[in-house]
Every structure is written in C-alpha cells, then in structure tokens.
Structure 1
Amino acid sequence: MPRNAIYAQSGGVTPVINASAAGLLLTARQYPQHIERFFAAKNGILGVLNEALIDTAVLSERELHQLKQTPSGAFGSCRHKLKTDAELKRLLAVFQAWDIGYFFYNGGGDSADTCLRVSELARAANYPLQAIHIPKTIDNDLPLTDCSPGFGSVAKYVATSVREAGLDVASMAASSTKVFVLEVMGRHAGWIAAASALASRQAGEPPHLILLPEVPFESERFITLVQDTVARYGYAVIVAAEGVKDTSGQFLSETGLRDAFGHAQLGGLAPTLVAQIKAATGFKCHWAVADYLQRAARHLASATDLAQAVAVGEAAAQLAVAGQSEVMITVERLSDKPYTWEIGAVPLAMVANVEKTMPPEFIDAQGFGITDLARRYLSPLIQGEAPPPFIDGLPDYGFWQWQLETPRLPRYSQEV
C-alpha cells in the first residue's frame, strides 16, 4: 500500500535548493504505487512540529520547473535544533496522523543530525519510516561528497564579483580607494573565500589576499602583505571568510550571540579589517559583505551546480522507494578534466555534525591563497550558465502563497 511523504528545507537557503525540491517531487510522481500524497512542511522542521503542511499536488509540472529556476527556500526554512523528548514525540505523532512513510530533509550538517534523530526515533517506536537527507550548503562543508549543491553557484557569484569589483578598484586606485575587502560566508571552512581565487587568471589579478578560517590570522603579517601588495600593484583586493580566527582561536567578528544550534553569531569582519588597515597605513579603503546576495543569486547559477542539485533530489526519491533509509545522497567525482560525476549515498551517521574544511594541500605556502590542486578541484564546479527566464528585464522567479492542510492533531503548544 502506498504511503505519504514529507519534504522540508532547513538552514540557510541557496540559489538551487528549490531545484532539489523540484527533482524530488517530479521523480516521486513517477512512483504512485509507493507515494500517495507528498507534503512539504512550511518552514522546515517547525512546519512538521506545527503541522503546517502543504500538499504539493497543487503544483503543476510547469510550476515545478519554475520552482527549479527560483532561488531561496520556496517552502520556507528554519534554524531549529530538536531539544526535547516532547518535540520528538510530536514529530512522530504528526507522522502517524498523516501516515508518513517517507521523510526527506534538505540541508547541511545540522540537518543531517536532525534527519538521523528522526529516523532513530521512528525505529525505536517501531514506526516504519524511510529517512533520506538531501545535501545542501553553500559552505561546501558536508563530508563524503565531492561538493555540496549550492556551493558551485555561490562560488561562481563570488568569483565574478571579485573580478568585477577588482576592475573597479584598479581603475580608481591612483587617486582613490587603494584597498577593497569583501566578506563572504564560511564559519569554519573557507571554501567560498577560496573559490574567489578563480577570478584571477594570472599573477597580479585580484584577489590578492584570501583570509581563511583554516589559517590563524596574524595582524602584523597581514598589514605588511597589504602594504607590499599596494606597493606592487597599486591596490589590493582582499576576500575574507567570516569565520577568520586569531592565533588564540577567537573569531575576529564574534558578536557574543549564539544561534539555535549554539554556533557563535558572526558579523562585521570586513569593517574590522578595514579599521586595522586604515590605522596602520592610512590607505583609503572600501568594504562590502556578500551576505544574502551570494546565496540568492540564481541569475548567475552554475549549470554544474544546478544539475547536481536536481540529481540529488531525484536520487532521494529513487532510493527511498527502493527501501533505503538513514543515508545522505552524495556527488562522486569521477574525473577532473573533463569533469564527470555520478550520484551515490553514504550512511547518515557518518555525516551528521561532521564538517569538511579546506585540506592543507589546497592552501598555498603563505596561507593567503590556494594551490593548483585546489583550483583543479574548484574550477569545474562553477562551469556553465543556467540563467532563469527574464521578463521585463528581471528574472521571472516564482512566488507562492501556500494553502495549508487542516490539522488533524491538537495545536502544538510548546514554544519552539
């Protein structure tokens, strides 16, 4: 007998997370003998707890293809860590009320942990559930997969921005700005900052200095390199990952706040660096923070990234109906040139709460750039263009106002 399914999006969104949803939903529709109704939870795991469910049958095939071309999380996302037995019991109660036999959670490392805990809860309660984690994170820090869907598009956006901003700074440096600092995301892993190096095709082209969380920050050495760079090229373009730490392991930009998972809230690294540079050199400086722009830039998505995002969604549906559970879908690299890949899967227990940082062999000897090995890894991930359709000069993105299903359980009263 067919059973029902729930899909939820979790954590920071990406330019292509909706493409994974589209791949999943379109593929699931090919298996009516396994999946009868397919729901999406509004705002991630909170949508399951609050029984805020969307019947995805309302989406036509045309709308599912539009979903593939739309950035952000169309069904809503959240950052919420399951903390209590009451929450876990509530999840199981919702699954039972709606005869959920398939749970698909689309997110990063914390989401992998949530997916695993839900699966373990169901097994302990003798409740049959296929739990599949669909990878997503712009930080590219999920282990056991060649890359994480979402990263390639952000890498392409950041490298493009650095190339364009670098030309701007170079054109004005003689009489104006000498130093430009771009702050990008990356708490513990410097993959995004490292990808900015793809903007440079030959020596002297920006970025000139890259600050990675994997390399302890030494202020005096940094200032000296900035001065040397300006003396050599007339200007300096710097890309800094938000998670840069000093030699004692303290984040340079820690605000003192924590998120739902206990992670330090970061912010303000670029102006902090600029203040140091100005005080030491007197150079005129500008700074910018890519922030949400980098993870919403669907207009500049990598075709490779988009294809992988769709593929992991498709594979999730296929593996679930084949009886697989407690796995994360992976991308497995077969060759660099030409870049070829295939889809695989790994046990969820090997993924949950494990971060993949930049390996030492990807970081150059100075610690402010990348090696040829890193460039060989990164370059294929930004290849190809996959622009959305444009109307009146702007991307034609979808925007949906969802009608929620009528709850079958008493209202969930615990504050979440």
Structure 2
Amino acid sequence: MTQARTNAFYAQSGGVTAVINASACGVIETARQHTDRIGTVYAGRNGILGALAEDLIDTSLESPEAIAALRSTPSGAFGSCRYKLKSLEKNRREYERLIEVFKAHGIGYFFYNGGGDSADTCFKVSQLSQSMGYPLQAIHVPKTIDNDLPITDCCPGFGSVAKYVALSTLEASLDVRSMAATSTKVFVIEVMGRHAGWIAAAGGLVEDHGIPVVILFPEIEFDEAKFLARVDAMVKQHGYCSVVVSEGAHHPDGTFLAEQGTRDAFGHAQLGGAAPVVANMIKTALGHKFHWAVADYLQRAARHVASATDVRQAYELGARAVELALEGRNSVMPTIDRISDVPYEYRIGVATLDTVANVEKMMPRDFISEDGFGITDKCRRYLAPLIEGEDYPAYRNGLPVYVTLKNQAVAKKLPAFALA
C-alpha cells in the first residue's frame, strides 16, 4: 500500500466452526502488532452484509484479553451470513457499494474468512477494486468444515469436526454394542458434507477400535441392495454396527437421500434427513431395531473437544493473511502444505484466488475402500494428525468460558443501501 497506515476489514462467512474465531484472533492480534502500517481493524456485523449495510464493528475497543479469548470460543464472534454476491455482470452495484464503504472508512485491507463461495467473492472484489483504481488488497482466510477447498491440504474447522464425529461414532457405538443382545442393533449418524465425504470419512477411524462401521459417501453412488447386504453382514458377524451417512449421499440419478425440495440462500439444495431415511430402510428390509442422530450444528460448534492441530492452524492462517497483505500480496489465500504424515509436519503456503474460487476438492478414490463403504490406510494417515491433540477452553462451574465481545458499531458515513 502507498499509505503509511490504512484500516482493515475482516468478515466471517457461511456456516461457522469451532475455530473460525481462532482465525479472527490471528488476524486481529497480528494486525495490532503492525500499528505502523495498519490502523483500525473493522469487522463486518453478520459477514459481508455488514459491509453492504455499512454496519462496521470497531475491534479496537476490545481488550487484548477479549481478543485472545476468541481463540477458544466457538461460532462467529461478529456474526456470519449465507449471502452470496452475484456475478459482477449481474449485480455490479453491490461490489461497487463495498468499495464505497471501504473508501469512506479508509479500508485498504480486506480479509474474508470463509469457504469456496467466500473465495469467489474475495476474488471478484479484488478484480473490481483494481478496475476502479482503488488500492485494496483482498486476502481470503480459508474456513470450511467440509474440507473441500483446493490447493490447501486441509481447511480450518475440518479437524475439529472430524474429531467430534469420530468421537461421537465411537461412544455411540459402544452404547449400541452394550445393548445389542436385546435391543438396538444399528446406530445411524448423519454428518455434514454436501458433495465431499471428508467428514463422513472421519467416522471410519473407529474401525481401529474394533467398531464395525458402514460409511455412505457423496462420492459413491448409493446402491441400496449392496448397502443393506453390507449392514446385515456386519450385524450377523458382530451383533451390531454403526452407519455414518453424509448428508450428500445420493442415488445414481443424483437425487440426494436427504433432499427436501427446498434451497438455501446460496441456491444449494436444502438437505437434512438422510439418517431417518437410511434407518427406516434398514428396519423395513432387515428388521433390525435402530436409533439415529443428526450431528447438525453440534459437530461444528463443539469447541470443548476441538483438535489442537485445527486450533493452531486456524490461528496461523489468520495471522499469515495479515502478513501476506503487508508483503503487498493481493487476491491470495494462505494454505496448509503437508510435508509428512509421521511425524506430522506442514508449512504455510499461498495460493492465488483464481485457482481456488469455484473449485471443490472431493475425496480421492484411493481414500475410500474398494467396496465403497469404508476408508483406506492412506485416508487414516491423512486424517490422524488433523484430529490430534486437545486444546480445552477454560472452565467455570462445569461449563466452558466463552467470550462475548462488545461489538460496538462505527458511525455511518454513507446513505442507506438496499439489497437487490
């Protein structure tokens, strides 16, 4: 930047995670170490909507202790949203509004913390600022429990969800095992993952504990006959089994097992209900008594069992995003580059947003067992270090101590703006 000091804007986007606030902590604490270059870090209230509405939060009013506490607090401290900006051609006015808000508040650094749609937005804002001649450096901070961003080895948020799913599958399976002689034979847990089965794969880690498990991946077309035969064989051999089903599991024609016929704010099919569909299928065809659960928000909010690896990486990527901006980089995203599985080693790399936006990373076929219902040793080696370590929050009276920020708004300088 040509200016000696310029302000920064940070926003959280999409579904929040157990560690997205750790990235926020990394951004804000690192920015505070460079007050000669960076002025105030503003946060968007409810993500990018905060920028469009000029509803900015002054993070400089938060104490160092409060910002540090973000590292161990789940969810989105500044509020998030599912709002996808349309293309520049279809709705240029929203992008121009962002630049107007940034200009009015002296913002020259844009840190957008989210998944694939957020990377796309960050990329487009960078392009527009250049075409308008406004000096803005747009840096994407990766976040998605789905683990489906390309280039980076893993995504902050995923390791903690994987740990939660593996832990929940293990403990629920032990419960079922204890009751199998006279009661429940099959436990079904539904996890997130629309197109990529990374989260479901984590359930396969319980096989190392002798737990019989069947996994339904989005990458493998659902074959009802083969699935039922596999479950029945497991129950006959072990007396019980668990099923981990991704919300994105689908029939050969592409129809989701869990499709409700509605769409979310991003235009994606609204999913939810694969677990009861699968459980009742088992009951009808095989007669086995079952219980089912949907992990839903629990899996992405469970900071109390977050992976230490995930917390550390989330913070490091937030910090590195600021460093990249100070180095003069634009339209990039910091990444995790794995060096080795054992011992687990990685370095922080960088990817250009034109290679990240609108690209989904699916599970490699060699991570999924030949029959399509489990994971391979290669997948276990990939997952194992990502769920390693505990980073417990402080506790008081039996519950975690999480921070709630002041989130004091900045005075508006522009006329109100109506969304399209």
- TM-score of the alignment, normalized to the shorter chain, above 0.5: yes
Which residue is equivalent to 2:397?
392
Q: Distance in 2 between matches of 1:35 and 1:242?
A: 42
Structure 2 residue 95 is the aligned partner of structure 1 residue 88: yes
Superposed, 1:147-296 pairs within 5 Å as 147-202=154-209, 204-206=210-212, 208-296=213-301
Letter in 1 for 2:336: V
Superposed, 1:77-156 pairs within 5 Å as 77-83=80-86, 84-156=91-163
Letter in 1 for 2:109: Y
Q: Distance in 1 between matches of 2:372 and 2:357?
A: 29
Letter in 1 for 2:52: L
Which residue is equivalent to 1:66?
69
Q: CA deviation at 1:262?
A: 1.6
Superposed, 1:19-34 pairs within 5 Å as 19-34=22-37
Q: Distance in 1 between matches of 2:403 and 2:81?
A: 20
Q: Distance in 1 between matches of 2:38 and 2:173?
A: 51
Indicate the percent of aligned positions where both proteins have the same amino acid: 59
Which residue is equivalent to 2:308?
303
Q: CA deviation at 1:314?
A: 0.6
Question: Aligned with 2:208: secondary structure?
Answer: coil
Question: Aligned with 2:51: secondary structure?
Answer: helix
Which residue is equivalent to 2:408?
403
Structure 1, unpaired ranges of 5+: none
* 1:139-163 CA-partner distances (Å, limit 9, x unpaired): 1000000100110011011100111
Q: Distance in 1 between matches of 2:418 and 2:139?
A: 28
Q: 1:36 aligned to 28, 39, 42, which one? A: 39
* 1:313-372 CA-partner distances (Å, limit 9, x unpaired): 110011101100100110011111110111011100100010000001101111000000
Structure 2, unpaired ranges of 5+: none
Q: Distance in 2 between matches of 1:185 and 1:372?
A: 23
Q: Distance in 2 between matches of 1:39 and 1:116?
A: 20
Q: CA deviation at 1:406?
A: 1.2
Question: Aligned with 2:79: secondary structure?
Answer: coil
Q: Distance in 1 between matches of 2:167 and 2:349?
A: 30
Letter in 2 for 1:363: I
Which residue is equivalent to 1:324?
329
Q: Does structure 1 conserve the Cα–Cα contact (< 8 Å) formed by 2:211 and 2:241?
A: no
Q: Distance in 1 between matches of 2:21 and 2:347?
A: 20
Q: Does structure 1 conserve the Cα–Cα contact (< 8 Å) formed by 2:16 and 2:75?
A: yes
Q: Distance in 2 between matches of 1:200 and 1:231?
A: 17
Letter in 1 for 2:94: E
**Would you identify which runs of 4 or more consecutive aligned residues in structure 1 move more than 4 Å?**
none
Q: Distance in 2 between matches of 1:131 and 1:379?
A: 33
Q: CA deviation at 1:58?
A: 1.2
* 1:106-132 CA-partner distances (Å, limit 9, x unpaired): 000010001001111101101000100
Further displaced range: 393-402 or 280-289? 393-402
Further displaced range: 58-67 or 406-415? 406-415
Q: CA deviation at 1:413?
A: 2.4
Letter in 2 for 1:161: S
Question: Aligned with 2:146: secondary structure?
Answer: coil
Letter in 1 for 2:211: E
Q: Distance in 2 between matches of 1:95 and 1:358?
A: 38
Q: Does structure 1 conserve the Cα–Cα contact (< 8 Å) formed by 2:61 and 2:408?
A: no
Q: Distance in 2 between matches of 1:190 and 1:103?
A: 31
Question: Aligned with 1:216: secondary structure?
Answer: coil
Q: Does structure 1 conserve the Cα–Cα contact (< 8 Å) formed by 2:165 and 2:199?
A: yes
Q: CA deviation at 1:401?
A: 4.2
Q: Distance in 2 between matches of 1:225 and 1:413?
A: 54
Structure 2 residue 350 is the aligned partner of structure 1 residue 355: no
Q: CA deviation at 1:400?
A: 2.6
Q: Distance in 2 between matches of 1:303 and 1:51?
A: 35
Q: CA deviation at 1:200?
A: 2.3
Further displaced range: 80-89 or 100-109? 80-89
Which residue is equivalent to 2:374?
369
TM-score, normalised to structure 2's length? 0.97
- What root-mean-square deviation, in Å, do the aligned CA atoms of Structure 1 and Structure 2 show? 0.9
Which residue is equivalent to 1:53?
56
Question: Aligned with 1:201: secondary structure?
Answer: helix
Q: Distance in 1 between matches of 2:311 and 2:70?
A: 12
Q: Does structure 1 conserve the Cα–Cα contact (< 8 Å) formed by 2:62 and 2:406?
A: no
Q: CA deviation at 1:64?
A: 1.2
